[in-house]
Structure formats: structure tokens, C-alpha cells
Amino acid sequence: MPMREPCIAAFALFALACATPARAQSTYGIGRAATPAEIAGWNIDVDREGNNLPPGSGSVNHGREVFDQQCAACHGAKGEGGVGDRLVGGQGTLATPNPVRTVGSYWPYAPTLFDYIRRAMPQNAPQSLSSEDVYAVSAYILHLNGLLPAEATLDARSLSAIQMPNRNMFVGDSRPDVKNPACVTGCGGSK
């Protein structure tokens, strides 16, 4: 019977829909499935706990070499800053009139360092460093900030275990935090 196959197909679709009531309401049928390999190739997000960090490792010593070649031109020989951000120092300054925000003084989560370097650095050739080099240069920057010994090597586990000094200093958005009484007449004037 010529009609049988469309009926079976329709029934199969109906059964599929019934079997997955919580599933997507794919109203439009637009787009195609993303394969696991495609997702793995593009998903470079590393969260604050270090999930999705890649295999591999890198030492402070190797990181010094990578830093000198790839980073020092903008960030300074010791991470003191230049065209690029200052990366080192500033701990204890955040509550002063002249706060110095660096990886060591301000960044709350160490895995973010790997995530950012991998996706955006060096600025002239982002996503060009190997995972080993990113681990190494992360280790070196943490070392320059006194957060890792000179002989240390970083991998996914050890990077995730680092507690950054400023970790607990972030709070939610409490705005509106300022109230203007909206005076209409006889007001004090501007300033």
C-alpha cells in the first residue's frame, strides 16, 4: 500500500512527541543538530571551578619563557603593565584611594586566567598558544603575584584548587543605591 509508509512515519513522530513531553517545542524546525565534536571544538568556556579545563600542564619556568616572548612587550617584563594591563601587585590596595586592580589583587577565580589567556591572548594572535603554554604562563603570572612557588607546575586540578585573595570580596548589585529627593523649588543648587 502506498499510504502505509507516511502513516507509519506520522505515527512514529506522534509516538516520539508523546514519549518526550518535557522536550523542546520545536515549532519551526530551524537549524541542524550540533555534533559533540563541533561543540568540543568551539566550547572553550572554563568556569570558576575549572570545569572544561583541558588536559596538559605547564611550569612556572616554562611560563617565564612564554611570557617573555608573548606577553612582556605589552604587559612589562615582570607584569608591571604597559600598553597592556598591569598583571602583578596591588594586594591590599583595593580599599585605598588608589586601588591597583591586577590578577593578584582583584581577580576572584584562578581558572578565569586560563580561560581568558586561551581565548584572547596574545592580542596579536589569540587562540594560538598550546594548552601547555597557557598553563605555563598562567602559572608564571600567579607566581609573580606570590600565589605559586617558583618550582610549581599547573594542571587542571591544581589551577582549580588555587584560592585567589580577593575571592570573597564580590557582592551583588544593590542599586538603586542613591536617592535624589527631586527638589523643585528653593533647592540648594547644583554640585
Between 1 and 171, whose beta carbon lies closer to other proteins?
Answer: 171
21 near other proteins, rule: CB under 8 A: no
State in angstroms the smallest separation of the CB of 83 from other proteins: 5
Distance CA 176, CA 178 (A): 6
Part in contact with other proteins (CB under 8 A); list of ranges 2-10, 29-37, 135-143, 144-152: 29-37
For other proteins, the binding residues in 129-168 under the rule CB under 8 A are none
Report if residue 18 touches other proteins, rule: CB under 8 A.
no
Span of 39-47, 130-138, 139-147, 148-156 interacting with other proteins by CB under 8 A: 39-47
Restricting to residues 40-69, which ones interact with other proteins according to CB under 8 A? 42-45, 47-48
Q: Is 30 in the site for other proteins (CB under 8 A)?
A: yes
Site string for other proteins, 94-133 (x = CB under 8 A): xx-x-x-x-x--xxxx--x--xx--xx--x--xx------
How far apart are alpha carbons 155 and 145 in whole angstroms? 18
Phi and psi angles of residue 45, each rounded to the nearest 5 degrees, phi first: -70, 125
Count other C-beta atoms under 10 Å from residue 26's C-beta.
Answer: 9
Q: Is 106 left (phi over 0), alpha (psi -120 to 50) or beta?
A: alpha
Say whether residue 179 binds other proteins (CB under 8 A). Answer: yes
Give the integer Cα–Cα distance in Å for 93 and 82: 20
Whose Cβ is closer to other proteins: residue 78's or residue 167's? 167
Q: Name the residue nearer to other proteins (CB basis): 6 or 181.
A: 181
DSSP state of 109: B
CA distances from residue 128 to 68, 99, 119, 122 in whole angstroms, order as listed: 16, 33, 9, 8
Query: 1 burial class (0-12, 13-18, 19+ CB within 10 angstroms)?
Result: exposed
Query: Rounded to an integer, what distance in angstroms lies between the CA atom of residue 115 and that of residue 12?
Result: 44
Give residues in contact with other proteins (CB under 8 A).
Answer: 20, 23-28, 30-34, 38-39, 42-45, 47-48, 82-83, 94-95, 97, 99, 101, 103, 106-109, 112, 115-116, 119-120, 123, 126-127, 169-191
